[in-house]
Amino acid sequence: MTKIRAAITGVQGYVPDYVLTNAELEKMVDTNDEWIVSRTGIRERRILKGEGLGTSYMCIQAAKGLFEKTNTRPEDIDLIICATTTPDMVFPATANLIGAAIGATNAFGYDLQAACSGFLYALATGSQFIETGRYKKVLVFGADKMSSIINYEDRATCIIFGDGAGAILLEPSETGNGVQDFILRSDGNGAPYLHMKAGGSARPATHATVDAKEHYAYQEGATVFKFAVSNMADVSAEIMAKNHLTADDVAFLVPHQANKRIIDATANRMGIATDKVMLNIERYGNTTSGTIPLCLWEYEPQLKAGDNLILAAFGGGFTWGALYLKWGK
Catalytic (active-site) positions = 116, 256, 286
Please pick, from the candidates 19, 37, 53, 156, the single residue that binds ligand UT7 as defined by CB under 6 A: 156
Q: How far apart are CA 35 and CA 43, in angstroms?
A: 10
Residue 260 CB, nearest distance to ligand UT7 (Å)?
9
Q: Which is nearer to ligand UT7, 40 or 173 (CB)?
A: 40
Query: According to CB under 6 A, which residues from 212 to 271 bind ligand UT7?
Result: 221-222, 224-225, 228, 258-259, 262
What is the C-alpha to C-alpha distance for residues 274 and 294, in angstroms, rounded to an integer? Answer: 18
| Residue 155 contacts ligand UT7 per CB under 6 A | yes
Say which amino acid occupies 306: G
Closer Cβ to ligand UT7, 63 or 159, answer by number: 159
Sign of the dihedral defined by the CA atoms of residues 38, 233, 288, 249, in that order: positive
285 with 160: CB under 8 angstroms? yes
| Residue 312 in the binding site for ligand UT7 (CB under 6 A) | no
Nearer to ligand UT7, 172 or 315 (CB): 315
Q: Which of 35, 108, 110, 152 binds ligand UT7 (CB under 6 A)?
A: 35
CB of residue 42 to ligand UT7, shortest distance in Å: 9
User: CB of 106: closest distance to ligand UT7 in angstroms?
Assistant: 35
In contact, 326 and 127? CB cutoff 8 Å: no
Q: Closer CB to ligand UT7, residue 74 or residue 317?
A: 317
Q: Angle at Cα 135 formed by Cα 134 and Cα 141, nearest 5°?
A: 135
What does the per-residue mask of binding to ligand UT7 show for 50-69, with x meaning CB under 6 A? Answer: --------------------
Q: Binding-site residue total for ligand UT7 (CB under 6 A)? A: 20
Enumerate residues 6+ apart whose C-beta is below 8 A from 254.
Answer: 278, 292, 295, 296, 299, 309, 310, 311, 312
Nearer to ligand UT7, 228 or 295 (CB): 228
Q: State yes or no: residue 195 binds ligand UT7 (CB under 6 A).
A: no
Question: How many CA atoms does the CB half-sphere of 39 hold within 13 Å?
Answer: 15
What is the closest distance, in whole angstroms, from the C-beta atom of residue 9 to ligand UT7 in the complex? Answer: 28
In the three-class reduction of DSSP (H, G, I as helix; E, B as strand; rest coil), residue 126 is classed as helix
Q: In 3D, which of 300, 292, 281 has the Cα closest to residue 143?
A: 292
Quote the DSSP letter at residue 161. B
Binding positions for ligand UT7, rule: CB under 6 A: 31, 35, 39-40, 116, 155-156, 159-160, 221-222, 224-225, 228, 258-259, 262, 286, 314-315
